[in-house]
A and B are shown apart, each in its own frame.
Chain A
Amino acid sequence: MNRLEKIESEQESETAPAPVIDSLAPIRDMVSACIQCGTCTGSCPNAFAMDLTPRQLWYNVIRGEKETIFHSKTFSLCSVCYYCTLRCPRGLPLTDAMSALKQIAAKENLAPYKKSVRFYKSFMESVRRHGRVREMEFMTLYFMVMKNPLLPFRFAPLGMKLMSKGKVSVELPSKGSGTLEAIFRKVEELENS
């Protein structure tokens, strides 16, 4: 099975599996000094779309409520703007904590985050193969793993605009086409050991 089929067919799990309990521990350490002041929530440009506010998310992380955390959209809505990290009166690394939750969702292939996870994995697959992202390939991979026949149409107007301006290259840039396969493999090896 190639890796793309893997992105596609990996068993999605509805509930957070057991190892997640352990993988939550480092994140709990990151936010354990939270005083629930709500500054992070007040600073977050995406809070309006979140089901749990960032403050509530940290509360659940501290209590280890993995079911609540991994059914919430909150961390997947973080756009990595670093406002909360900048303003938290306890100086907690909140953006990194959001990313760490995304990494668990990607690793465990949790169903509620399928869309973003597949997008990110398709992008990385293209980088892995060529060292740089190849826009056409990456979006094709994404559409393929999403199996939604209507999805490409959402991007069609932009795609056409970019293509007509020559911004999406159909071919690989001539130089620097080295693969990053070895780097990716080593990272996987170290992370799984």
Chain B
Amino acid sequence: MGELGAELVEIEDWTCCGASAAEATSYLLSLSLPACILAKAEKMDDTSQILVPCSACYLNLKKVEEISRNNIELLNKINTVLQEENLHLQGKMKVRHLLDILARDIGPAKIFANLKSPLTGLNIAPYYGCQCLRPYSVFDDPEEPRSMEPVIEAVGAKIHPWDMGGRCCGASHMTTKPDVALELVAAILKAAKGADAIVTVCPMCQMNLEAYQKKISGMSGEDLSMTILYLPQFLGLALGLSEQDLRMDLNLSITKAFRDKLNRTQISADIHR
């Protein structure tokens, strides 16, 4: 984000938002945990917005933001719980998804202006998943999302045409109901064939899409290996950050074909410079 002129500060003593587990056990807990985080963020000076880089965390926090505006009774109940930690939620914080900020606040023009090595020739399948789009459609169409496209095109890449961008990756089913989740991911990987990479805006989706490719390929009897990148990593490549800065070594699926193509585009960019 520094490359794009945005300043981020970490919330002091952040805690877990409850992920998808809290809601599966207790409604009040699933609201109280994100409320803790928002209340801590409210105490920080000069911050009015919170950027959330994961779609599941985003939705958990967003729900509480909505409640703090529209449901005083429930807000009071949440505050009774927060009182235990001497916290109080007023509802001043605006919860923003990473993609929302990249696509609308920073925007393609600024990204283009900071372009160091264009990713021309790469064919990218934008993957949004569920919870940044639904149920709160803040910055995109909940059924046919497009908000990532200008951002991807700004760095010179093309969009892989597909209609799986808003489909579900299975979320925590991958652990509790693997058979079902593997089917969902298989359908997404199949539809991405022909693209050079899938770009995600949520680390949980990224993990589901990248970690089981061998198994899924075996199941489907075809090679479904596919490079999966988190959007900031993909943009970082074009903004001149090194693979080390982007911690590409931590990715679980970067294919050789992708590496070769990336090297070629970067070499040709160097020649034309």
- Is the pair B25, A82 in contact by a Cβ cutoff of 8 Å? no
- Is the pair A158, B211 in contact by a Cβ cutoff of 8 Å? yes
Residues in chain B near residue A187, CB distance under 8 A = 26, 28-29, 32, 81
- Is the pair A86, B252 in contact by a Cβ cutoff of 8 Å? no
- Is the pair A190, B28 in contact by a Cβ cutoff of 8 Å? yes
- Is the pair B28, A191 in contact by a Cβ cutoff of 8 Å? yes
Residues in chain A near residue B184, CB distance under 8 A = 45-46, 79
Chain A interface, >50% SS class: helix
Instruction: Report if A166-B16 is in contact (Cβ < 8 Å); known contacts: A123-B21, A183-B36, A191-B26.
Output: no
| Interface range for A | 35 or more
Chain A CB within 10 Å, residue with most, of B20, B25, B133: B25
Instruction: Report if A106-B26 is in contact (Cβ < 8 Å); known contacts: A46-B180, A85-B134.
Output: yes
Chain B CB within 10 Å, residue with most, of A155, A180, A183: A183
Residues in chain B near residue A180, CB distance under 8 A = 15-16, 33, 36
Contact of B135 among A49, A85, A127, A185 (CB under 8 A): A85
Residues in chain B near residue A191, CB distance under 8 A = 26, 28
- Is the pair A165, B130 in contact by a Cβ cutoff of 8 Å? no
Of A52-60, A63-71, A113-121, the segment with at least 4 beta carbons within 8 Å of chain B is A113-121
- Is the pair A132, B15 in contact by a Cβ cutoff of 8 Å? yes
Chain B CB within 10 Å, residue with most, of A77, A82, A133, A182: A82
Task: Produce 1/0 per residue, B239-268, CB < 8 A to A.
Answer: 000000000011010000000000000000
Residue total for B at the interface (Cβ-Cβ under 8 A):
54
Q: How far is the CA of A100 from the CA of B23 in the complex (A)?
A: 8
Q: How far is the CA of A57 from the CA of B21 in the complex (A)?
A: 22
- Is the pair A115, B168 in contact by a Cβ cutoff of 8 Å? no
Q: Does A176 contact B (CB under 8 A)?
A: yes
Q: Does B18 contact A (CB under 8 A)?
A: yes
CB distance from B139 to the nearest CB of A (A): 15
Instruction: Report if A190-B80 is in contact (Cβ < 8 Å); known contacts: A99-B23, A127-B16.
Output: yes
Instruction: Report if A190-B26 is in contact (Cβ < 8 Å); known contacts: A48-B183, A49-B180.
Output: no
Q: Does B85 contact A (CB under 8 A)?
A: yes
- Is the pair B15, A190 in contact by a Cβ cutoff of 8 Å? no
Chain A CB within 10 Å, residue with most, of B26, B32, B211: B26
Residues in chain A near residue B29, CB distance under 8 A = 124, 183-184, 187
Residues in chain B near residue A17, CB distance under 8 A = none
CB distance from B15 to the nearest CB of A (A): 4
Of B41-49, B95-103, B169-177, B189-197, the segment with at least 4 beta carbons within 8 Å of chain A is B169-177
Q: How far is the CA of A177 from the CA of B171 in the complex (A)?
A: 26
Q: Does B67 contact A (CB under 8 A)?
A: no
Instruction: Report if A80-B23 is in contact (Cβ < 8 Å); known contacts: A48-B183, A115-B176.
Output: yes
Q: Which residue of B lies closest to A50 (CB)?
A: B180
A-contacting residues, B86-133, CB 8 Å: 130-131, 133
Q: Which residue of A lies closest to B173 (CB)?
A: A79
- Is the pair B20, A80 in contact by a Cβ cutoff of 8 Å? yes
Chain B CB within 10 Å, residue with most, of A100, A154, A176: A176
Query: Which B residues contact A (CB, under 8 angstroms)?
Result: 13-16, 18-30, 32-33, 36, 77, 80-85, 130-131, 133-135, 142-143, 167-168, 170-173, 175-181, 183-184, 211-212, 249-250, 252
Query: Could you name 9 residue pairs across A and B whose Cβ atoms are closer than 8 Å?
Result: A79-B172, A80-B23, A103-B26, A116-B176, A119-B172, A127-B22, A180-B36, A183-B36, A187-B26
Query: Which A residues contact B (CB, under 8 angstroms)?
Result: 45-46, 48-49, 76-77, 79-83, 85-86, 95, 99-100, 102-103, 106-107, 115-117, 119-121, 123-124, 127, 131-133, 154-155, 158, 161, 165-167, 175-176, 178, 180, 182-187, 190-191
